[in-house]
Amino acid sequence: MAGRSAARRRFFLYGSAAALVFNKLFFPTFEPLTGTLLAFTTYAVGFIARPLGGVIFGHYGDRVGRRRVLVITLVLMGVATALIGVLPTYASACLRRPGAGRELAAGVFAPRTAVP
């Protein structure tokens, strides 16, 4: 009961943040409606992946032991939460320039045609 209410609270908070904040932070070049829909797409991926993770980790819980799998899932959730916390926004990810990062790729992978 307590775990279910905590999970619902987290989904409610993430959904609120996706609707109000994430479209402006992570998708500012899109129209507001499109940015909100893209933010809700990340919400939907998490909502769909949850039962799949339950099936996979339930299988391993029966094989290895539920306590070990519980610790593994808690560590994975903690690491994922920490990585979301350090995820750069659109403005700080150097995506403002259309060619950012392509100079190195073009220099490394371009065939050399003017070889003496």
User: What digits encode the pLDDT tens for the residues 38-86?
Assistant: 888 987 887 888 889 889 999 999 999 999 999 998 899 889 888 878 8
- Mean pLDDT of the chain, nearest integer: 79
User: Tokens in use for 93?
Assistant: 């990810």
Q: What is the pLDDT of residue 1?
A: 60
**CA quadruple 9, 10, 13, 18: dihedral, nearest 10:** -140
| Residue of 2 and 102 predicted with greater confidence | 2
